[in-house]
Structure 1
């Protein structure tokens, strides 16, 4: 690891947000001998459910994990079989049934919680300050930023890194952009002990994911570890759930009845994702930051991940690019002799890459458009994996 000598005194670096991007940034910084503090609102790494499963791509997330010295640990936890993808029509016709080869590691799956624990546990004790919700960040005349947290503590930073997600409190320091609703909302459903308690769901989902769309709607399901499946019931609606107007979103049975009405005519093997879930539905409207999202160079502050380029979930780019962002920002700080030069170098690479990736809103329009999909519209999942490998080779040869 070749690094430029760290300036004296060393810059005070504050990362807001202990998600995959923020933790990756911190880990790579520490591997280069650069001190950093991460602040997160959660009480601990496992204080709340972190969400579903992620496929970490060879050309982005895996590159970041290698720089973090954690790639072998990731592969020990990951599920290569989770790359399986079954695509159905709303009438149950199988449009594609991709099963990865046993040695396919271009994009294996890992639970979000497992990834967060892996990254957090790799950091020096005390690096992450849990229970710190950022209240405000204010620029000071000397070019630093004063951070004030809801628990009453304050600190100053020479570099403030906003890794705090869609509703970032750091973003307003560099940009007026705010997330916009895509017109698509997910209702998340859960299935525990799926192999024993929900065998029909287990058969439908298999080792990976099942995806069915049509008539502006969709039923998606993904296997997580420990016999758990998450399903996402997709609807075209506004952010307040107007397509379920008159239904209390906290009333599970009322929501289920409304959803069954909306999915009338869908294959019964798919409708079990609405009828058989354990517990309530979780309302998850999808937002994006319209791309390209850019901002003028701002000394002492930058963004990564969803704070910089919030994307729709299709394609799995969000967490992967967040981790690559965090990795590249850390490397820039290690290789430049000033914070300002490092920010300039990092943003010069990250912003064009995010613009090229886009916000994913067009994909939502295609997937959840009118009528039915057919086999010609299904991606070639094997070719997709090969593209990740080619991308990784091209990245490493730069």
Structure 2
């Protein structure tokens, strides 16, 4: 089978995260039809996570191609670029304050970004409740997508934008040895003023080489704190605890952070809900694949890395470049080749720089945190 022209091809994106939705938006903006398949039953099925910083040299480029950059700046929080480095006593040891007009990497809540992208798509673009089981069919196409609800569809191009647990990508991520435990705080100015003052309008990081905390202001008077530890991936169950045993987990944490000051330990003891376990996984470096004219990957499905300043930004840049390649190429195969020729070297270079980078999250130095540190499964 010869590769079809993109304008006449069936294009299926797996995953309605920022990368998948950005790709769909730019394709539609350039007159190319696309369908997005998302396993969530609807747009409000789950909390989309914390806040993201979108960089001028990648994420914002993608939003410009999507025609959404002005709307992004209306929602974004430039003050969220502030970063504080604290010691375990809670004293500020370094302080980065953005200039009043600084817009290099303003923050936006993940849910707000997703809504911005969703609302820009034509009605019916996203098919909800479509959990992918497998992809079959010959490499030259057409491909069959088999979903958990028993349905099967045929498509000319499969774009895997389904994140860390991708069903399109055969490679299995490896545990980095470092885990996040998320704690959430609401109505912080009234209910948690000490934590609000400690964190400030942006983010605050503290670590002692073995354990750390990263706190981040979200919109709506919320703060999320990520408790960072070098532990086995199953450390909660190995401690004889269940994920919803807040008191039991808290007791373990207070023992580990016992030498930290009481004001810092508030970020462990005063959370408003159960903890959320988020062990960090990464793909082997380098992660590459043989060219396939009917399947490609973007974002975490292509290059899952530690959360150190790349995450969503690279996913959206991938999405933009793939959509523009499909817009400008004579065939789907030509577009995939052109996209991967740029994307794979870039992602390999970045992954090599960040390999074992999860260990930096425990360093007393300021890590270049990506706000994508709350990646959803």
Length-normalised TM-score, structure 2: 0.93
CA contact (8 A) 1:140 1:146 kept: no
Instruction: Tell me the SS of whatever aligns to 2:8.
Output: coil
CA contact (8 A) 1:41 1:134 kept: yes
- Structure 1 residue 249: Cα displacement: 2.9
- Structure 1 residue 238: Cα displacement: 1.2
Indicate whether 1:333 and 2:321 are aligned.
Answer: no
CA contact (8 A) 2:22 2:117 kept: yes
In structure 2, the CA distance between the partners of 1:32 and 1:8, relative to structure 1 (3 Å rule), is closer
Counterpart in the other structure of 1:146:
144
- Correspondent of 1:56 among 54, 57, 64: 54
- For residues 42 and 248 of structure 1, the distance between their equivalents in structure 2, rounded to whole angstroms, comes to 25
- Structure 1 residue 152: Cα displacement: 2.2
Equivalences for residues 199-348 of structure 1 within 5 A: 199-241=193-235, 245-315=239-309, 317-348=310-341
- Structure 1 residue 245: Cα displacement: 1.9
Counterpart in the other structure of 2:192:
198
CA contact (8 A) 1:244 1:258 kept: no
Q: CA RMSD in A?
A: 1.9
- Structure 1 residue 93: Cα displacement: 3.2
Give aligned pairs, total.
366
- Structure 1 residue 119: Cα displacement: 0.3
- Structure 1 residue 154: Cα displacement: 1.4
- Structure 1 residue 142: Cα displacement: 5.6
- For residues 75 and 137 of structure 1, the distance between their equivalents in structure 2, rounded to whole angstroms, comes to 38
- For residues 128 and 8 of structure 1, the distance between their equivalents in structure 2, rounded to whole angstroms, comes to 19
Counterpart in the other structure of 1:396:
none
- For residues 236 and 150 of structure 1, the distance between their equivalents in structure 2, rounded to whole angstroms, comes to 35
Counterpart in the other structure of 1:352:
345
285-294 vs 19-28, greater mean Cα deviation: 285-294
Instruction: Tell me the SS of whatever aligns to 2:64.
Output: helix
Instruction: Tell me the SS of whatever aligns to 1:358.
Output: helix
- For residues 368 and 361 of structure 2, the distance between their equivalents in structure 1, rounded to whole angstroms, comes to 15
- Correspondent of 2:72 among 71, 74, 78: 74
Counterpart in the other structure of 1:121:
119
Equivalences for residues 79-98 of structure 1 within 5 A: 79-98=77-96
- For residues 308 and 9 of structure 1, the distance between their equivalents in structure 2, rounded to whole angstroms, comes to 24
In structure 2, the CA distance between the partners of 1:78 and 1:190, relative to structure 1 (3 Å rule), is same
CA contact (8 A) 2:6 2:330 kept: no
Equivalences for residues 138-177 of structure 1 within 5 A: 138-140=136-138, 143-172=141-170, 177=171
Gaps of 5+ in 2: 371-377
In structure 2, the CA distance between the partners of 1:51 and 1:379, relative to structure 1 (3 Å rule), is closer
162-171 vs 290-299, greater mean Cα deviation: 290-299
Cα deviation code 1:98-140 (max 9, x no counterpart): 1111211000000000000100110011111111111111123
Equivalences for residues 97-108 of structure 1 within 5 A: 97-108=95-106
Gaps of 5+ in 1: 1-5, 385-398
Length-normalised TM-score, structure 1: 0.88
